[in-house]
Structure 1
Amino acid sequence: MENLKQSIKDLADRYSVNLKDKIEARTEEMKADDNSHYLIYRVLGITTEQGKLIDEYQNTGRFLYKYAGSFLEEAATLCLNFKYPEGIKTRIENTLGQRPKTFEIDFLNENDAIEVKWRDATTDGDHITKEHIRVQVIKAHNYKPIRIMFYYPQREQAIKIQQTLKTLYVGVQGEYYGGEEAWEYLKNYTGIDLKNILLEIANRRTPEDGSK
């Protein structure tokens, strides 16, 4: 278990350094950006300084969201592999259509086809169609589709999409876990309390932050 905790800490260190480097590089690049669009910001009542800060935070946010998602999904997969070393990431043929040709399974353990998501904020209706085909294909391959998503989106339309996806999973005798249920599922499935491990790391790095 200590080896796993160290692996997750090392993973966090690596992502943290890479994120910092990306943000610093982009911030430096932005110094040479054409800021003539600030005129429109000003027309809308946003000062040049406010516009600059907004652009900087927008760029930082894109990197942060991407790295946060990739880190959590990789950390969860480390837990799955620790408990089930024979589990693999794999692709299966789309037997119900031509596009896409294959679907990816994040972690296949015997009949359990687990999809790991940190958050899915899509509001695209086509996403439901694609996911419906995906779970049907997984079922046709005699696997059980299981989705774990650690954080629900914030917007109403995106939440409705997730509610529909949950219905799809249940409809094919699959399983869907979102929010706190996802953390509990991973803990029960692997015996590893990933959330607690991440809290320990977070509290060492930002002890003044009281978030849970």
Structure 2
Amino acid sequence: MDIYEKIYSLSNTYEKRLKERVDARVLEMDNDDYSHHILYQVLGVSPKEGHDIDVYQNKGRFLYKYAGSFLEEAAFMCMKERFPDASKTRIDNTLGSRPRKFEIDSLVESHAFEIKWRDATTDGDHITKEHTRIRVIHAAGYIPVRVMFYYPNRDQAKKIQIALESLYRSLGGQYYYGNNAWAFIKDYTGVDLLDIIERIAKEKTKNGV
């Protein structure tokens, strides 16, 4: 099985998981308390539209989660294709007590990769944790590398990413996002992940998925 077939198979797995999770949640919602919909009506939203919004809000949460997990795992598969010894690992937090360990999404020799489909967070605790994680990885003797395929749209989230990129650079690390992230994966692994994703999307769209 070549890398295209492996990633296509992975997409089918995530598609199945997403459908099962969404179907189960929608079924659960049949028994939910919808008394809050009166507030929607006060704001001019009809009962049907309010219900649809609730349903799609839940669907959206699962879609974002599974889309991101799929892309991050697909990128790791590309690394494994070129570097069979690439591995996910956890290292001790030597600069604090919480969390006890930090995860490295892909460790290739001295390079510790964080693979993100996107990061739009503005949560202070998450930001502090991320800065600590990078410093811990650097202190452990690894080169921190961030590969993020989609840059956030909001100004505040962009400012956080700019600060994060500066930290990576200051510690001798690397930071790739957007087109540069796709190009990096292609150059580093020899696998054109973006082309594979586009081919799978086209194939599934053609088949009415």
Q: Above 0.5 in TM-score?
A: yes
Quote the residue 1:65 is aligned against. Answer: 64
**What amino acid is the match of 1:100?**
P
Q: CA deviation at 1:189?
A: 0.6
**d(CA) in 1 for partners of 2:50 and 2:166?**
42
* 1-structure distance, mates of 2:207, 2:170: 44
Offset at residue 98 of structure 1 (A): 1.9
Q: Which string of whole-angstrom CA distances, capped at 9 and with x for unpartnered residues, describes residues 74-119 of structure 1?
A: 1000000110001111111122222222111111111000010001
Percent identity over the alignment? 54
Unpaired runs of at least 5, structure 1: none
Shift of 1:125: 2.5
The aligned counterpart of 2:154 is 155
Inter-partner Cα distance in structure 2 for 1:12 and 1:208:
14
Aligned residue type for 2:170 = G
Equivalent position SS for 1:153: coil
Q: Residue 124 of structure 2 corresponds to which residue in structure 1? A: 125
Normalised TM-score (structure 1): 0.94
User: Does residue 204 of the first structure (1) align with residue 203 of the second (2)?
Assistant: yes
Match of 2:182 in 1: 183
Matches of 1:34 and 1:93, distance apart in 2: 44
Moved over 6 A (4+): none
CA RMSD in angstroms, aligned pairs only: 1.5
After superposition, what is the alpha-carbon deviation per residue over 1:134-185, rounded to whole angstroms, capped at 9, x for unaligned? 1111111111000001111222111111111101101101001111111111
Is it true that 1:110 corresponds to 2:109 in the alignment? Answer: yes
Q: State the SS of the aligned residue for 1:159.
A: helix
**How big is the shift at 1:4?**
1.3
Match of 2:73 in 1: 74
Mapping 1:13-28, distance limit 5 Å: 13-28=12-27
Report the Cα distance in structure 1 between the residues aligned to 2:11 and 2:138, rounded to whole angstroms.
34
- Partners of 1:125 and 1:93 in 2: CA distance: 22
Give the drift of 1:132. Answer: 1.9
Aligned partner of 1:34: which letter? D
> For residue 138 of structure 1, what is the aligned residue in structure 2?
137
> Which residue is equivalent to 2:168?
169
Deviation at 1:208, TM superposition (A): 9.7
Q: Aligned equivalents of 2:27 and 2:128: distance in 1?
A: 41
Report the Cα distance in structure 2 between the residues aligned to 1:152 and 1:39, rounded to whole angstroms.
37
Compute the displacement of 1:35 (Å).
1.1
- Which letter maps to 2:73? E
Runs (5+) with no aligned partner, structure 2: none
